[in-house]
Structure 1
Amino acid sequence: MPRPLLPFLLLPLFAAACQQASFGEGAPAPPEVRVLAEHAPANLAVLLPVVEATATLVPVEELRAEAHHALIERGFAPLAADYVDRKAGVEAVPAAAVRLPEAGVLALRVERWNDVRAESQGVLSARILGELYDENGRLAAKLGVDRTFRLGPGELAALPAGQRRSALFGRLFAELFAPLPSPPPL
Structure 2
Amino acid sequence: MKVRVLRDIFSQGKRFHEALESILSPQENLKERDEKHLQCGYIESIQHILKDISGVLALESAVHHETLKYTGLLDCVAEYQGKLCVIDWKTSEKPKPFLRNTYDNPLQIVAYMGAINHDANYSFQVQCGLIVVAYKDGSPAHPHFMDAELCSQYWVKWLLRLEEYTEKKKNQNIQKPD
Q: Same fold (TM over 0.5)?
A: no
Q: Which has the higher contact order (CA 8 A, sep 6+)?
A: 1
- Higher Cα radius of gyration: 1
